[in-house]
Structure 1
Amino acid sequence: MTSVPNPVDPIFTWRKESDGVVVITIDDPTQDVNTVHSRFVAELSAIVERLQTERDDIAGVVLTSGKSTFVAGGDLHEIVALGPEDAARFTRHLDHLKAQLRALETLGRPVVAAINGSALGGGLELALAAHHRVAVDSPRVQIGLPEVGLGLLPAGGGIVRTVRLLGAKRALDEVLLTGKRFRPAQARALGLVDELVATSDDLLPYAKQWIVGHPDAVQPWDTRGFTLPGGTQTHGALAAELPFLSSTLRARTGGAPAPAERAILAAAVEGAQVDIDAASRIESRYFVEIATAPIAKNRINLTFFDLQQIKGGASRPSGQPTYRASRVGVVGAGMMGAGIAYAAAKVGIEVVLVDTSLEAAEKGRAYSAKVEGRAVARGQRTQADADALLARIAATADLADLRDVDFVIEAVFENAALKADIFSRVEAVVRPDAVLGSNTSTLPITSLAASVGRPEDFVGVHFFSPVDKMALVEIIRGEATSDATLAKAFDLVVQLGKTPIVVNDSRGFFTSRVIIARLNEAVAMVGEGIAPASIEQASLQAGYPAGALQLLDELTLTLPRAVREEARAAAAASGQAWVTHPSHDVFDRLIDDWGRVGRAGGGGFYDYDEQGRRSGFWPGLADAFPRAATTPTLRDLSERLLFAEVLEAWAAHAEGVIEAPADANVGSLLGIGFPAWTGGVLRFLDQYEGGREGFVARAEELAEQYGDRFRPPASLVDSAQPAGLSA
C-alpha cells in the first residue's frame, strides 16, 4: 500500500491500496459532519484531476467518509447568503461541481460509494455519481434528497440521476417531491443503493470485491441504447401520467406558494427530454432561481437555523444541570394524557397513568397498545419491544401511586377549578422535589400555581394533539416558576424527542392566542356572508395545511367560545375594557340557535355522515348568514387570516409573552400550522413585500376595509425601520 502526502488538514485523503484500488476518504476537519461547500468542491476537483492523470495505474475507486455520516448535504450557510447578484457566479459553481461528478462517473474505472453513515442531499448526489452504492444496514443511516423540505431542489445532479435511475414519475412521487429520508433497506428496495452490509468494516472488502467483478463499469445512462424508465414527456407512460403529476402537485400544495415543488417537477420533465449534460444545466438554473429568492431563505432559516437554535438550548435557563426523568406521572387518561403517556414510555420512561377509575386509566393505556400494534403490523417494531413499552405504563385510579414520580403532568379538562383541586391532592402525595406540570392550553400558569404550596416547582407543559405525531411542546413559565423547574421541563421535552419553545405566562400563552386570532377571522368572514368554500380556499392558498372552518370543526366551536368567556371574565375582574370581535355573534348563533358545535357534536360548519366523514358544508349556513353581494378577493381573504395571526404574535412578542423570535417562528410552524413558506409568524413581517414597512402599510389597508383589529400597534409602526426582527 502507498500513501501520498496531502495538503494540511485536507477534506479528501487519498490512499492507494496494493491492489490498485484508491480509497478516497471524506473528513472535513472544520465541521462535525461533511457538507458540500466551496472548499469541498475545490478539493474534489483536485482529486478527480488526479484520478484522471493516474487512471492507467488505478483498478478502481472507493468513496467513503471518515465521520459517522457520509455527507450531510450542501452548506446552508452558503446557500442562505445567496442573492440575485450571485446568480451567475453560483451557476458556474454548480456547473463546475457537476462537471467533476460527470468526470468521476466517466473515469473508465469502477467507482463505488461506501456509505458508512447518512447520505442526504449532496451526499446522495455524490453517491449517485458512483457506479455502485453499498450502505451499512443501520437504523441510524438515512438516505435521501430532502431539499424540498427546505424550499430548495437538489442541485448536484439529484434530479438528473434519479430520473434516469427510476424514471421521472417514480423519482418525483417517491423521492424528489416527498423529500423522504429512507432507511437503508428502503433505499435498496427503491434502487437508490445497490447492496447492504452489516457493519462499516464490511464496506471496503465488499467494494473491492465488486470492483474486481466489474472492471468496465459504466452508468446505465452511458450505455448504448439507454432509454429512460417510464418514458419521456412525449413517449411512453410518462406522456400519459404527466397531467396527473401536475394535478397531484396542485392538490398537494393547495395553491399555496410552492416554487421549489414546481421547479422540481419542471426540471425533471424538461431534463428527461435532453442529454444528461443539458439536463444538468436545466437543474442548475432552476436551483439558482429558487435559492436566490426569499421563500427558500425563509424555509431554511425556519426549518434549520431557528430549529437548531431552539434545540441548542437558547431558551433554556443557563447554569442548570442536565435533567433526565425516570418516572413520570400523568393525571388524566383521555386522548391527551394517553398520548403523553405513550410518548414517555416510548423513550424508556416509566409512567404512572391516573384517572378517576381503573377502567378509564386502562382505556388510556390501551391507546399505546393500539399505536404499537399498528407499528408491529407495519414491521416497524417487534412484538417484544411493543410489550416492553406497554409494561412501562402502569394504569391506576389511586393518586397515591404517584408517590415515586419525579415529574407530574396533569392533562384533564380545561377547567381551572378542576385543575386546582387535582394539584392540591397531587402535591400531598408526590415527592417534595417532583415537578408539577399542567398541560393547559390557555389557563394562566400563575393562577393554577396558586393551588399548590410550592409554585416555584409549577410549570406549564402544553402538548399538541395527537401527541405521538405533533413535535411541539409549549413550556410556560409562571411568575414563580424557578429556573431549575423550567430547565427540567425543557430537558424532559427534549428527552421525549420533541421540540420545546419557552413562553411567559399569559392567557392563551402564545400558540393558542395566535391560532384563535385566525379562527376568529375565518368565522367573522362567515358572518359577512362570504361563501365558506372561498374561506377554505383562501386558507389553502395562504399555505395553511387545512381550511380554517374544517379545523374549527375538529377542535369544536365551543372551545374558542369557552376561551373567550374566560378572557371576558378575567377582563371584568381586573377592570379592563372588553373588546368584542365580529366572530363572537356568529359563534353564539351557531351554538345556541342551531346546536352546531363541530364534528364531535354531529356537525358544525360541515355536515358529517354516519362514519364521521365530511359530506359538505351545512346548507343552513347560507340561510343563517346570507351571501354578500360582493366577495373580497382571495388575496384579501388569505391575508386577513395571515395578518390576524401575525398581529397577535407581534402583540405577544411586544408584551414579553414570547421573547425569542425563533421560538415564535418554530412554534407557529410546528404547533399551529402557520405556512412554512413565510419563514414563521414573526419573520413574515420582514419578508412581506416592501419589508416591515410594506406590512404596516398593508395592515392599514385591511383596517380601513375590515376593521380596527388590523390596525398595526404603535410598537410595530415604530419598529418598521431598517433593522428587521428576524433578519
Structure 2
Amino acid sequence: MSNSENMFRWDLDDAGIVTLTMDDPNAPVNTMNQTFQDDIRATVERLEEEIGDGSETPIKGIIITSAKKTFFAGGDIKQMSKATEDDAADMFNMVEDMKASLRRIERLPVPVVAAINGAALGGGLEVALAANYRVAADARGSKIGLPEVTLGLLPGGGGVSRVVRMIGIQAALMKVILTGAQMNPSKALATGLVDEVVAPEALLESARAWLLGDSAKATQPWDEKGFKIPGGDPKNPKFAMNLPSFPANLTKQLKGSPMKAPRLAMQAAVEGAQVDIDTALRIESRYFTELVTGSQSKNMMQAFFFDLNHAQGGGSRPLQADGTPYPKREFKKVAVVGAGMMGAGIAYVCAKAGMEVVLKDISLENAERGKSYSEGLEAKALERGRTTEEKSAALLGRIKPTESYDDLADVDLVIEAVFENTELKHKVHAEIEAAVPETCILGSNTSTLPITELASHVKREGDFIGLHFFSPVDKMQLIEIISGDNTDPAILAASLDFAVAIRKIPIVVTDSRGFYTSRVIGTVINEALRMVAEGYSPAVVEAAGRQAGYPAPQLQLADELNLKLMEKIAGETRAAAETEGVELDEGGVPALVEAMLHKFERPGKLEGKGFYEYADGKRTGLWSGLTAELREELGITPIAPEDTDIQELVDRMLFIEAIETQKCVDEGVLLHDADGNIGSIFGIGYPAWTGGTRQFIKNYDGGVVVGGGVGNGGTGGSGAAHPERRGVAGFVERAEELAAKHGPRFSAPESLKK
C-alpha cells in the first residue's frame, strides 16, 4: 500500500509519533465516503501490524489531523440521501464496518490524539471521539458538534454512545445530541467534547506535547474496569427516578410533532447506557439505519443540505446573456424609508453587516424612534456578553435617522418599508426616485402587493425589485426576492449579493399577488379559521398545528399578523378575483373575521386582544369567548372531541399549503423547488420534518401520523396511517380524499395528476 493510494497520509517522526493526515484526493472536504471507509480500514491494519502488542514498536503515539481547511465534514450526505428501506441491511453493515475501524483505533496500545484544525461536525467529531484526547484549534469559524438530528438522523458513528460516556446521559442529550448544537471550540471545551483549545499554529505541537507527557493514556475510560457513566445510568436508583421525565420533556419540546430522530436518539442513548460500549454502538447503528432509510431524513437532508446550499450558493442567481456571472456588487450605504418595526429591523441588520444606513421617516422623531429599536437590541446583546461597548457604539453610529430625502443622495440601495397601501407606496416611490442617484436600486419591502404594478409608477422600472423581509427581521433568516415583469436580471443578481452581505437566506420568486410565502401562509391560516367556524374547538385547532410540527400554531399567527391586515388583504384579493371573474371559496372565514374585528374588537396581539388574551404583550391563553360569544354570534355548532380526528386537521393544514405551492409552480411564480422548500420552512414555518412544501409532495409518506401512532383522534378514520401511499401518487390520492370531504380547494392540480 503506497501513501498515494490512501487518504490517510502517514508520517513517522524520530520521537515515534505517527501523524495521520486525512486528505481525500477526490473531494474538497473529508467525509465518511467509500474512500474513507476503505482507507481507514487499511490504515488500522497497518497500525495494528506495526504496533503489535505495543512492547517492541517504535510507534509511541498517533496524531489524527487533516490537510483540509476543515477537520472532517461528516457523513456522505449524497450517499445517505439515496438509502431506501431495501438498503437497510447494507447500510447497517456499512456503518458497523466503519465503526469497527474507529473502535480498533481506540483499542490500540498506544495513545491517540485528534488534532482538530477546523470544523468537526457529525461524523467529523465522531472520528475525533475515538481518540484518547482531543485538541481543537481556536480557528475562526470552526464549529464542533453533532447536528445529525437537524437532518432527521442521529449520530450513527459512535457519537451517541461515546458522548453519553464522556459527559453523562442528560448532558449528552440536552446539550449536544437533541439540540444539534454547533459550538465554537471554547464552548465545545466547556461542554466536555474536547480537552484543550489552542492557537491554530500551536495545534500539532500541543498534540505532540500531550502524547509525550505523563498524562497520555492509551485506554478509553469506558474500557477500564469499574467505569461508571457520569451522573449515573438507568440502573442507578437516583437516576432511574428522573428517567420518566426524559421522554415527557421531549414530548413537550416536540409538541406532538411526528419527528422521529429526537425520539430514536433518546432511545439509543438510554438503552445504550445500560450495556457495554460495543453493544451500545450496535444499538446506535440499528436506530441510525431506521432513520437513514426512512422518509423524514430524506426530506430534511434535501431541505437543510441540498436546498439550503442552492439558496445560499446563488442557485437562483441569473447569468448574463453570454452565460457568465454578473459582477458581484457591494453595498456601502443603504436607505430605509419607513421607520416602523419592519424598517427599523431592516436598518439594524444592514448596520450589523457594516453598512451605513439612512433611516428616513416623515418626522425626525419617528426616525429616531425607529433607531431606538436597534439601541434596544444592542443593549440586550451587551447584557448577554454577545458584543462589546466599542462594537455596539460603532453599529449604532452607522444608523442615521432623518426626515429629509436630501440624505439619500449617495445611497447604493433604498428599501421602502411603509404601510401596505398601493397609493401610499406609489407616492413614496416617486419621492425616492427623485432623491436617489441613477445607480441606486429601488427596493420595496411588501408582502403582498404585485411588484410590477408598484414599479409601473417609477421611471426606472428595470431597477425596481421586491425585497420581502420577515418579522422580526433581526431573527428571521429568510428574505424573499421578487423579480417584477420588467426587473433587470442584473438588479436581481445584485439583490442576491445584498442578501448574502446581510447574512440572510434568499429565495427568488416571480411576481403575483402575495408572491409565494404570503400567498401560501394565507391558505393555512384561513383553513384554521374555517375549522373554528365549522365548530372545532380552537384549542384542538391549535394543538393540531403544533402536532403537525408548525413552530407557531395558526390562530397565534393570525394574532401576530393582525386581523385588520388580513381583512384588508382578503378584500384586495376578493376585488382582484372579481375583476378576473373568479369566485373565491372562503367558507365562514369572512364572517368570523368580521365578528372578531367589529363585534368583539379583537384584532390581534398588537392591541392586546385577539384569539388569545395578552398581559404585558405575552399570551396568557385562548380567549374564552371563542367557545361562547363567538359561537353564539355566528351560530356555530360545536364538534365534540370524540368526533374530532386530529390527523384530519393536520392533513388539511399540510395539504392546503402544499397544493397552493403547486399552483405557484404551475403559474411560474416558483422556478426552483429549492426556493419553495426553503421559503416554506424558514419563512412561514412549514414543519421541518416534511422538507418543505415541494418535498412533502414529492416524497409524501402516508405512514407518518401525528403522535407516532396509527390513526389519531376520536375516529381515527381518514386520518389513519396509510403507509402504502407514497410519493406524488400517494399525495394525489389523499388530496382527492380531502377534496371529496371538504371541497375542491383540496383537489390536486392537474400537473400532479399527470
The two structures have a TM-score, normalised by structure 2, of 0.92
The answer for the alignment partner of 2:309 in structure 1 is 308
Distance in 2 separating the partners of 1:575 and 1:707: 20
The answer for the alignment partner of 1:34 in structure 2 is 30
- Cα gap change, 1:90/1:712 in structure 2, threshold over 3 Å: closer, same or farther? closer
Question: Within the alignment, does 1:369 sit opposite 2:365 as a pair?
Answer: no
1:348 shift after superposition? 1.2
The answer for the alignment partner of 1:724 in structure 2 is none
- Residues 443-486 of structure 1, C-alpha deviation per residue, up to 9 Å, x if partnerless? 01111112211111000000001111111110111111111111
AA of the residue aligned to 2:588: P
1:294 shift after superposition? 0.8
Q: 1:45 aligns with which of 34, 38, 41?
A: 41
Q: 1:628 aligns with which of 609, 613, 638?
A: 638
1:548 shift after superposition? 0.8
Distance in 1 separating the partners of 2:461 and 2:239: 64
Distance in 1 separating the partners of 2:436 and 2:374: 25
- Residues 672-727 of structure 1, C-alpha deviation per residue, up to 9 Å, x if partnerless? 01011111101211222322222222222212222222222333322xxxxxxxxx
Question: How do 1:528-677 residues align onto structure 2 when only pairs under 5 Å count?
Answer: 528-609=534-615, 611-623=616-628, 624-625=630-631, 626-630=636-640, 631-677=643-689
- Residues 379-429 of structure 1, C-alpha deviation per residue, up to 9 Å, x if partnerless? 222221111111211111111101100110011111111111111001001
Distance in 1 separating the partners of 2:547 and 2:427: 45
Distance in 2 separating the partners of 1:707 and 1:146: 41
1:5 shift after superposition? 4.6
- Residues 637-689 of structure 1, C-alpha deviation per residue, up to 9 Å, x if partnerless? 11111111111111111111111111111100000010111111012112223
Q: 2:699 aligns with which of 671, 682, 687?
A: 687
The answer for the alignment partner of 2:446 in structure 1 is 440
Distance in 1 separating the partners of 2:348 and 2:464: 23
Question: Within the alignment, does 1:716 sit opposite 2:752 as a pair?
Answer: yes
AA of the residue aligned to 1:541: Q
The answer for the alignment partner of 2:394 in structure 1 is 388
- Residues 253-286 of structure 1, C-alpha deviation per residue, up to 9 Å, x if partnerless? 1111111111100000000000000000000000
Q: 1:697 aligns with which of 702, 721, 733?
A: 733
The answer for the alignment partner of 1:13 in structure 2 is 9
Distance in 1 separating the partners of 2:399 and 2:229: 53
Give the secondary structure class of the aligned counterpart of 2:339: coil
The answer for the alignment partner of 1:282 in structure 2 is 283
1:529 shift after superposition? 1.0
Do the aligned residues in 2 keep the contact of 1:230 with 1:236 (CA within 8 Å)?
no
Do the aligned residues in 1 keep the contact of 2:479 with 2:507 (CA within 8 Å)?
yes
- Cα gap change, 1:579/1:419 in structure 2, threshold over 3 Å: closer, same or farther? same
Unaligned runs of 5+ in 2: 52-56, 321-325, 703-724
Distance in 1 separating the partners of 2:448 and 2:40: 55
Give the secondary structure class of the aligned counterpart of 1:428: helix
Do the aligned residues in 1 keep the contact of 2:466 with 2:482 (CA within 8 Å)?
yes
Distance in 2 separating the partners of 1:579 and 1:268: 50
Give the secondary structure class of the aligned counterpart of 1:461: strand
The answer for the alignment partner of 2:266 in structure 1 is 265
1:627 shift after superposition? 4.3
AA of the residue aligned to 1:48: V
The answer for the alignment partner of 1:725 in structure 2 is none
- Cα gap change, 1:186/1:627 in structure 2, threshold over 3 Å: closer, same or farther? farther
Do the aligned residues in 1 keep the contact of 2:233 with 2:239 (CA within 8 Å)?
yes
1:237 shift after superposition? 4.1
Distance in 1 separating the partners of 2:24 and 2:473: 38
The answer for the alignment partner of 1:721 in structure 2 is none
1:208 shift after superposition? 1.1
AA of the residue aligned to 1:638: V
Distance in 2 separating the partners of 1:198 and 1:434: 44
Do the aligned residues in 2 keep the contact of 1:76 with 1:300 (CA within 8 Å)?
yes
Give the secondary structure class of the aligned counterpart of 1:96: helix
Give the secondary structure class of the aligned counterpart of 2:387: coil
- Residues 96-128 of structure 1, C-alpha deviation per residue, up to 9 Å, x if partnerless? 111111111111111111111011001101111
AA of the residue aligned to 1:176: I
- Residues 284-324 of structure 1, C-alpha deviation per residue, up to 9 Å, x if partnerless? 00000110011100100011101112222221111222112
AA of the residue aligned to 1:291: V
Do the aligned residues in 2 keep the contact of 1:230 with 1:237 (CA within 8 Å)?
no
Distance in 2 separating the partners of 1:125 and 1:580: 53
- Residues 593-632 of structure 1, C-alpha deviation per residue, up to 9 Å, x if partnerless? 11111111221111123x2322222121112224424443
Do the aligned residues in 1 keep the contact of 2:24 with 2:35 (CA within 8 Å)?
no
AA of the residue aligned to 1:683: Q
The answer for the alignment partner of 1:328 in structure 2 is 334
Distance in 2 separating the partners of 1:166 and 1:665: 36
Question: How do 1:290-305 residues align onto structure 2 when only pairs under 5 Å count?
Answer: 290-305=291-306
Distance in 1 separating the partners of 2:580 and 2:461: 22
1:58 shift after superposition? 0.5
Question: Within the alignment, does 1:151 sit opposite 2:184 as a pair?
Answer: no
Give the secondary structure class of the aligned counterpart of 1:677: helix
Do the aligned residues in 2 keep the contact of 1:531 with 1:627 (CA within 8 Å)?
no
Do the aligned residues in 1 keep the contact of 2:537 with 2:639 (CA within 8 Å)?
no
Distance in 1 separating the partners of 2:313 and 2:582: 39
Give the secondary structure class of the aligned counterpart of 1:466: coil
Do the aligned residues in 2 keep the contact of 1:167 with 1:229 (CA within 8 Å)?
yes
The answer for the alignment partner of 1:488 in structure 2 is 494
Distance in 2 separating the partners of 1:317 and 1:464: 24
- Indicate the larger mover: 558-567 or 455-464: 558-567
The answer for the alignment partner of 1:723 in structure 2 is none
AA of the residue aligned to 2:165: R
Question: How do 1:320-469 residues align onto structure 2 when only pairs under 5 Å count?
Answer: 320-469=326-475
Distance in 2 separating the partners of 1:682 and 1:97: 34
The answer for the alignment partner of 1:110 in structure 2 is 111
Distance in 2 separating the partners of 1:400 and 1:586: 47
1:215 shift after superposition? 4.5
Do the aligned residues in 2 keep the contact of 1:408 with 1:434 (CA within 8 Å)?
yes
Unaligned runs of 5+ in 1: 719-727
The answer for the alignment partner of 1:209 in structure 2 is 209
Question: How do 1:510-525 residues align onto structure 2 when only pairs under 5 Å count?
Answer: 510-525=516-531
Do the aligned residues in 2 keep the contact of 1:168 with 1:238 (CA within 8 Å)?
no
AA of the residue aligned to 1:506: S
Distance in 1 separating the partners of 2:206 and 2:254: 43
Question: How do 1:128-167 residues align onto structure 2 when only pairs under 5 Å count?
Answer: 128-167=129-168
Give the secondary structure class of the aligned counterpart of 1:57: coil
AA of the residue aligned to 1:671: G
Do the aligned residues in 2 keep the contact of 1:520 with 1:583 (CA within 8 Å)?
yes
AA of the residue aligned to 2:109: G
Structure 1 vs Structure 2 CA RMSD: 1.4
AA of the residue aligned to 2:46: R
The answer for the alignment partner of 1:22 in structure 2 is 18
* Runs of 4+ displaced beyond 6 Å: none
Question: Within the alignment, does 1:86 sit opposite 2:87 as a pair?
Answer: yes
AA of the residue aligned to 2:608: G
1:238 shift after superposition? 2.9
AA of the residue aligned to 1:45: R
Distance in 2 separating the partners of 1:88 and 1:360: 65
The answer for the alignment partner of 2:481 in structure 1 is 475
1:375 shift after superposition? 2.1
Do the aligned residues in 2 keep the contact of 1:108 with 1:216 (CA within 8 Å)?
no
